Amino acid sequence: MNVLRRAWGWFDDRTGLPGPVGELLRHPVPPGIGWPRVLGSATLAVFILQVLTGTALATVYIPATDSVYDSLVFISREATLGRVIRGMHFYGASAMMILVTLHTIRVFVSGNYKYPREMNWITGGFLIVVTFMMAYTGQLLRWDNHSIWSTLVAIRHIGHAPFIGEWLGQFVLAGDRITGATLSRAFAFHVFFLPAVLFTFIGLHLFLLIRNGSSEPADKEILAEPETYRQEYEELVEREGLPFWPFAAWRDAVFALGVFAVIIILALVFGPQELSIPPDPAVPIPEPRPDWYFLWYYAIFAVLPYEIARFAYVLVPLLSMVFLFSLPFFAGRGERHPLRRPWIIGVTIFGIALVLGFQEAGRRAHWAPEIAVDPLPAEVVGATEGPVYEGAILFHENGCLACHAIEGNGGQFGPDLSNTGTELTIGEMSNVILNGVSGMPAYQNLLTREEVDLLLTFLQSRQE
C-alpha cells in the first residue's frame, strides 16, 4: 500500500490531474436526478465500447476488395474471440442508436434545450448526425452481398433526390459505381474521420455539461429566463445539491454495466449478423434492406408517390436538422415541465408514431428486388426462338427481372422497361448495361459481346 501511495503522490505531483478529476467527480448536482438521466452517460459508455471493439476488429480487418470478405470470415469463425467481439460491435451499434434516440427524446420532452443549455443541445445534435453516419458506414464495411445491395438501394434512392442526388450518390460511392474506392472511403470515414469528430463534440458536450450544470428536475419550477435562472439554480444546488460521485454516478455505472451485460449476452448467444455470399452486384438478393434503424427512412420511396418521395428523401432529414438546431432559438425560454408545454407531448407522440409507421411500411413494402421471379411468358416476349427469345432468357438469368418489370412481370425496384425500345436508343441502352448507373451494377465484365447484343435486341423489341 505504501508503494501505491508513493506512486500516486508522484503522479499527482508531476501531473496535477487527480485534483481536477476529483473536483469533477465531486461537483454538485441538483436534487431529484433519477434514472432517466442515465441515458446520456450510457450512450457515452457504449461509444467507448464501440471504439474498443472496433479497434480490435481493425487489427484483423483488411480494407481491400480482394481480401475484406475473407478477413471477415476469419474474424467470425477462426480468430480468438473474433465472433464475440464482432457480435459486441454489431449489437453495440444498435444499443447506441437506441440510447441516443431515447436520450434525445428525454432532453426534448424535459426542455433541457432551454437557457442556458442551448449549446448543449446543439452539440448533442451534431453527435446524433455523426452517430447515424457512423452506423451507415459501418453497415457498408460488412462488404458481403447484402451490404452491397443495401448500398445500391440507398444510392438509387439518393440519386432520385432533386438537385444534389447525383452528386451525393457519387460522393458515397467515391465514383459512379461500387469499387475498392467505395470501401476505402467508408473505412476512412468510419475508423478515422467520424470518430475524431465524435470525440471532439463529446469533449465539448461534456465541458458544457460541467459549465452549465446538470439541469434540475422540471418540477422545481425554475423558469429558464436569462435574468433569473443562474442565480436561482446556484441557490438550489448550494441548498440541496449532492456530489455527483457517488450520489448520482452510481446509477450511471449500474445502468451502463447492465447495457454491457445485454450486449455481451447477445454476442455470446446469437453472435454477429451472418455474412451472406461474397459481394457480387450481378447477383441480387431477396431482401437488400438496411439495418433496422434506417428502414423507416428507406421506406419513404416504398410508400410515397415518386414525385413526393424524391423531395421527401431530402426534405425529411433537412427539415429535421433545421428543427433540431433552431429549437433553442425559438423556444429557449420559459417553462420546462412537459405538462405545462402540451405541444411538446403532441409533437413527440406524432414523431414517434410517424417513424414507427414508416418502419412497418418499409418492412412490408415490395421496394426490394424480388429474386423469386418467373421467366417472361411467351406472349410477353413475342417469340419462342431467335435473338429476341434468347435475349429474354438472358434478361431473366442475369437477374434483370429481379429489379425491372416488363408488362407487369418482374420486380419493382428499377424502372419499368416495357417500352424501353421506344424511350432509349441502342447506344443509351448499351451504355447503361456496360457501365451501370446509380443503383445498377456494370455488366461489361460479366457478359460477352454476343450476350450484350442479344439483350439489346430483346430490349429494342419492347415498343409501345
* Confidence band of 422 (pLDDT split at 50, 70, 90): confident
Other beta carbons within 10 angstroms of residue 81's beta carbon come to: 12
Class of domain 27-364: mainly alpha
* pTM recorded for the entire structure: 0.79
One-letter-per-residue 3-state SS of 77-107: HCCCCHHHHHHHHHHHHHHHHHHHHHHHHHH
Q: What is the DSSP string of 232-261?
A: HHHHHHHHH-EEIIIIIHHHHHHHHHHHHH
Q: Which pLDDT score is estimated for 306?
A: 65
Question: What stretch(es) of the chain map to CATH 1.10.760.10?
Answer: 378-460
Evaluate if residue 372 carries a pLDDT over 70. no
CA–CA dist 419, 440 (Å, integer): 19
Q: What pLDDT shows up at residue 5? A: 80
CA end-to-end distance (rounded Å), the chain: 90
Distance CA 244, CA 232 (A): 19
**Predicted local distance difference test score (pLDDT) of residue 282:** 59
pLDDT digits (tens, 9 = 90+) for 215-234: 888 777 788 888 999 998 88
> Which position has the higher pLDDT, 439 or 165?
165
Mean pLDDT over residues 140-158, rounded?
80
User: What superfamily does domain 378-460 belong to in CATH?
Assistant: Cytochrome c-like domain (1.10.760.10)
pLDDT bracket for residue 281 (50, 70, 90): low
Cα–Cα dist 416/11, whole Å: 71
16 versus 240: the higher-pLDDT residue is 240
pLDDT of residue 186: 93
Confidence class of residue 100 from pLDDT cuts 50, 70 and 90? Answer: very high
Q: Confidence band (pLDDT; 50, 70, 90) for 13?
A: confident
What are the grid coordinates assigned to 402, written together?
429481379
- For every residue of 343-370, DSSP letters joined together read HHHHHHHHHHHHHHHHHHHHHH---S--
Cα→Cα distances 240→31, 34, 236, Å: 6, 15, 6
**For 140-144, what is the mean pLDDT?**
90
On whether the CB atoms of residues 172 and 154 are closer than 8 A, the answer is yes
Rounded distance, CA 46 to CA 152, Å?
A: 29
Q: Rounded CA gap, 345 and 418, in Å?
A: 49
**1-15, 79-93, 209-223 — which is least confidently predicted?**
1-15
Q: CA 298, CA 201: separation in Å to the nearest integer?
A: 28
Q: 284 falls in which pLDDT band (50, 70, 90)?
A: low
Mean pLDDT of the chain: 85
Confidence of residue 297 (pLDDT cuts 50, 70, 90): confident
Strands (E), 134-232: none
Residues of the chain within CATH 1.20.810.10 domain(s) are 27-364
Q: Residue 304: helix, strand or coil by DSSP?
A: coil
